Amino acid sequence: MSEPATLHHNHRDDTASKLGMWLFIFTELLLFGGLFVVYSVYRYLHSQAFHLAARELDVFTGTLNTVILLVSSMTVAMSTTAIRKKDKRTTLLLIAVTLVLAAVFLVNKYFEWGGKISHGLYPGSSILDELGKGDTLFFGLYFFMTGLHALHIIVGMVVLGFMFVFVWKDKITHDNFQQLENGGLYWHLVDVIWIFLFPLFYLIT
């Protein structure tokens, strides 16, 4: 990238498109980065309460969701190999598997959230007020961060849904697949964030 490119502006520039995607990913990292700062500060200030509150979360569900996201990350990465190999069928299959896994993740999350809420553990609840400041902050952060992450999962699903249609309609092909790569990059970002959310909320007991 050291030499400037000569490009007519309706010419396709895959590197520019990828660079744009990466820059967007950086902003997303910083967005969650702000939340990680908040998490660290409150964990530092209320370490004992965070320690105890984390036990309320089910490690098994968390691990399951981690496995689901890791596998989905692999399938979407593989789809970019499949498209390069001109294998449209496999590409579509891999994207579809990713979408299904994402949906399973959300269903899991739904039941997990539902369980917490039915136990009265939700922002602003009277039970949390009784439990104390550390628990209030822990569950506030838990809902806010996993909620924002779930929102990103949904956005990622919409993006990958479009990719599926584009591959189907041959708008994404073996010599024009930067969009699919970018969609994949976004999905990996969602995965990376979960890789940190998982230990921070479920494992640190």
Instruction: Kindly identify the residues of this chain, within the stretch 89-118, that bind another protein according to CB under 8 A.
Output: none
The Cα 72–Cα 100 span in angstroms is 9
Where are the alpha helices (H) located in 119-177, listed in sequence order? 126-131, 133-168
In this chain, which stretch among 36-44, 103-111, 153-161, 162-170 interacts with another protein, using CB under 8 A? 36-44
* Contact criterion met (CB below 8 Å) for 68 and 190: no
**127 counts as binding another protein under rule CB under 8 A:** no
> Which residue in the set 96, 103, 104, 185 belongs to the binding site for another protein (CB under 8 A)?
185
199 binds another protein (CB under 8 A): yes
Region of 77-85, 96-104, 108-116, 161-169 interacting with another protein (CB under 8 A): 77-85
Binding residue (CB under 8 A) for another protein from 52, 74, 93, 96: 74
Strand partners, 176: 173
Among the listed residues 100, 127, 158, 195, the single contact to another protein using CB under 8 A:
195
Q: Is 7 in the site for another protein (CB under 8 A)?
A: yes
Contact flag: residue 162 with another protein (CB under 8 A) = no
Q: Which of 20, 117, 120, 154 binds another protein (CB under 8 A)?
A: 20
Structure-token match 């990465």, residue found? 77
Among 48, 89, 118, 124, binds another protein (CB under 8 A): 124
Which helix (H) or strand (E) segment holds residue 18: the answer is helix 14-45
- Region at 123 (left for phi over 0; alpha for psi -120 to 50; beta for the rest): beta
Number of CB atoms found within 10 A of residue 108's CB: 15
- From the list 62-70, 111-119, 154-162, 165-173, the region that binds another protein by CB under 8 A is 62-70
Binding residues for another protein, total number by CB under 8 A: 79
Q: What is the DSSP letter of 92?
A: H
Q: Is 190 left (phi over 0), alpha (psi -120 to 50) or beta?
A: alpha
Residues 65 and 107: beta-carbon distance below 8 Å: no
Q: Mark the segment that binds another protein (CB under 8 A) among 70-78, 97-105, 112-120, 163-171.
A: 70-78
Q: Is 144 one of the binding residues for another protein (CB under 8 A)?
A: yes
